[in-house]
Amino acid sequence: MREEPWEPPAVLVAVDLVILTLRASALHVLLVQRGVEPHQGELALPGGFLQHSGEGLLTAARRELREEADLDAARLHLEQLGAYGTPDRDSRGRVISVAYLAIAPGLPEPVAGTDAVGACWMPVDGVLAGRTRLAFDHAAIVADGVERARSKLESSALATAFCAERFSISELQLVYEAVWGVRLDPRNFYRKVQGVRGFIAAAGSDRRTTGGRPARLFRAGPTTVLNPPLTRPDPPQASEESR
Amino acid sequence: MREEPWEPPAVLVAVDLVILTLRASALHVLLVQRGVEPHQGELALPGGFLQHSGEGLLTAARRELREEADLDAARLHLEQLGAYGTPDRDSRGRVISVAYLAIAPGLPEPVAGTDAVGACWMPVDGVLAGRTRLAFDHAAIVADGVERARSKLESSALATAFCAERFSISELQLVYEAVWGVRLDPRNFYRKVQGVRGFIAAAGSDRRTTGGRPARLFRAGPTTVLNPPLTRPDPPQASEESR
DNA sequence: ACAAAAGTGTTGCAAATACACCCATGA
DNA sequence: TCATGGGTGTATTTGCAACACTTTTGT
């Protein structure tokens, strides 16, 4: 760091959240409708400015998670995505946003206790395809978050963060299929997942059923890096059908 | 983003650079000696504050690259690492640092034209092991940068950024061996690398030699994501010798 | 001729796929 | 007893590490 005689410019720092979850086998992101200008009424990521100059970035992310989504950060996966600082991204002046990615298990239904106007889960497909328009550069941030989730499913135990505390192997498979957008063979998936040491651990011989044979239940294991990794099958060779 | 009656606190934003290169088959990072307080005289990452409120983060990173390391950003790989914003990381007040990772080919020798005091290439081993002490939280940032480089070698064409414009396959192998800290079989590496479509492209049948058979030369290919990826061998099972 | 580095062929093991099959339960 | 989803066995394919071997240069 070099020092110079001039004063460096002070900027505003916001923290925005990309909260992903699985609903009806599709990946969804939590969006709020903005109550004030700029971009009033438009959809945006939940977030807000640093509250006081002693607040850490991660602390602020956890606070927003609680305030805007009524989610308990202690139970969620939460990691930093990156900083977004294009000069003209916010008409109020120089605002740099530090984005965080959170993964939530499928919640009962609507997001309760939200103090933002109209929070809702939106399918990410629409956002990625540009059909769902977002304020600021938030669509790009969502795209980065989804891409991060897709790639981390391969090499980390992130998938368990989409599940409730106890889950069956086929529920875990649904996570992979929804996030990657592929179909997997349940039988091979079953053994593959069990073959990764520390990924999942048997959780009581308890079992609930939905019509067939009851499934064994598991909970997230101690491992966070998958070894061997679960490899994503390459999409079926887009030939003339593409685009 | 929620609006509230209070003023959000303004903070200072710095951009710091983790510039990695290969020297004598070892991974090195560029460090400068700080000329002013705080941490005067200590080693730190090159970087500095945003220069004016209209300067973009990436623009600032490119400027620092030029000013502090005399490197041309257009020829380098440059990507954002993340934001570091622990409240007490800088004694001057609230400073958030956005770190960037740059990869440079092995340069002729010393870093020329630097306006910082005492810029030098330091082996990353010492930094990672804590033997080389850095100012602020810069040692942690270096560790994150090295980890990012290690993991991106597997799935992206990042390795070519460590090489000159034209390189032989064995030079590319040296990059992988140095960054990963492993030994690879040259014969299998040779074919593996050639098997990845778009990774490297033949560059003139030109050839220079160092005693044996001349090598074919290549340049970076169009692909940035490696398919199939180059997988890193797991380290030789640390048994009782570990720690 | 020999050393040194580049490049090729071949083989055997191990992981991943595909899929036939058996198990446990509700209706 | 049949439909539904859970779980297991196994043959075939594929990927990859190991290593013998050939090629092309400098000295």
Residues A128-156 pLDDT 10s: 999 999 999 999 999 999 999 999 999 99
In whole angstroms, what separates CA B52 from the centre of its chain? 26
For chain A, where do the domains classified as CATH 1.10.10.10 start and end?
164-220
Which of A112-121, A162-171, B147-156, B223-232 is predicted with the least confidence, judged by mean pLDDT? A112-121
For chain B, where do the domains classified as CATH 1.10.10.10 start and end?
157-220
Distance from C-alpha of B131 to C-alpha of B133, rounded to nearest angstrom: 6
In sequence order, which residues have a C-beta less than 8 Å from that of residue B132 and are 6 or more positions away?
Answer: B43, B122, B123, B126, B139
**What pLDDT was estimated at residue A205?**
66
**What pLDDT was estimated at residue A136?**
96
Return the percentage of chain B with pLDDT > 90, whole number: 73
- Say which nucleotide is closest to residue A187, CA to C1' distance: D7
The confidence band for A204, taking pLDDT boundaries of 50, 70 and 90, is confident
Would the CB atoms of A36 and B80 count as touching at under 8 Å?
Answer: no
The confidence band for B116, taking pLDDT boundaries of 50, 70 and 90, is low
Å from the B195 CA to the D16 C1': 13
The confidence band for B2, taking pLDDT boundaries of 50, 70 and 90, is very low
Q: Is the CB of B233 under 7 A from strand C?
A: no
**What pLDDT was estimated at residue A235?**
63
How many CB atoms neighbour CB A205 within 10 A?
A: 8
Q: What is the mean pLDDT of chain B?
A: 89
Å from the A213 CA to the D12 C1': 30
Q: Is the CB of B216 under 7 A from strand C?
A: yes
Amino acid at B139: A
Smallest Cβ–Cβ distance between A48 and the set B1, B16, B56 belongs to B1
pLDDT (tens digit per residue) in B24-71: 999 999 999 998 889 999 999 999 999 998 999 999 999 999 999 889
Contact (CB, 8 A) for B224 and B156: yes
Q: B69 exposed, middle or buried (CB, 10 Å; 0-12, 13-18, 19+)? A: buried
Would the CB atoms of B55 and A87 count as touching at under 8 Å?
Answer: yes
Greater pLDDT, A149 or B72: A149
Q: Is the CB of B49 under 7 A from strand C?
A: no
The confidence band for B107, taking pLDDT boundaries of 50, 70 and 90, is confident
Checking if the pLDDT of B243 tops 50, the result is no
User: Domain B157-220 belongs to what architecture?
Assistant: Orthogonal Bundle (1.10)
Would the CB atoms of A9 and B44 count as touching at under 8 Å?
Answer: no
Would the CB atoms of A53 and B12 count as touching at under 8 Å?
Answer: no
User: How do B10-23 and B95-103 pair as beta strands?
Assistant: parallel
Distance from C-alpha of B207 to C-alpha of A49, rounded to nearest angstrom: 57
User: Domain A12-153 belongs to what architecture?
Assistant: Alpha-Beta Complex (3.90)
Nearest CA in chain A to B55: A87
DSSP SS3 for B238: coil
Which of B74-88, B103-117, B153-167, B198-212 is predicted with the least confidence, judged by mean pLDDT? B103-117
User: Domain A164-220 belongs to what architecture?
Assistant: Orthogonal Bundle (1.10)
Which residues of chain B have a CB within 8 Å of the CB of A14? 1
**What pLDDT was estimated at residue B51?**
93
Which residues of chain B have a CB within 8 Å of the CB of A98? 83, 85, 96
Would the CB atoms of A116 and B227 count as touching at under 8 Å?
Answer: no
Q: Is the CB of A228 under 7 A from strand C?
A: yes
Checking if the pLDDT of A122 tops 90, the result is yes
For the segment B142-170, the average pLDDT, to the nearest whole number, is: 96
Greater pLDDT, B163 or B238: B163
Checking if the pLDDT of A165 tops 80, the result is yes
The confidence band for B241, taking pLDDT boundaries of 50, 70 and 90, is very low
Would the CB atoms of A8 and B51 count as touching at under 8 Å?
Answer: yes
**What pLDDT was estimated at residue A5?**
57
For chain B, where do the domains classified as CATH 3.90.79.10 start and end?
12-153
Greater pLDDT, A3 or A192: A192
| A153-176: b (≥16 Cβ within 10 Å) or e | bbbbbbbbbbbeeebbbebbbbbb
Nearest CA in chain B to A234: B227
Nearest CA in chain B to A48: B1
Nucleotides of D under 7 A from a protein CB: 3-9, 15-21, 23-27
pLDDT (tens digit per residue) in A55-113: 999 999 999 999 998 898 998 999 999 999 999 999 888 999 999 999 999 876 566 55
Task: Look up the protein residue whose alpha carbon has the minimum distance to the C1' of C3.
Answer: B212
Return the percentage of chain B with pLDDT > 70, whole number: 88
For the segment B107-130, the average pLDDT, to the nearest whole number, is: 78
Q: What is the mean pLDDT of chain A?
A: 89
Å from the A186 CA to the C27 C1': 25
DSSP SS3 for B180: helix
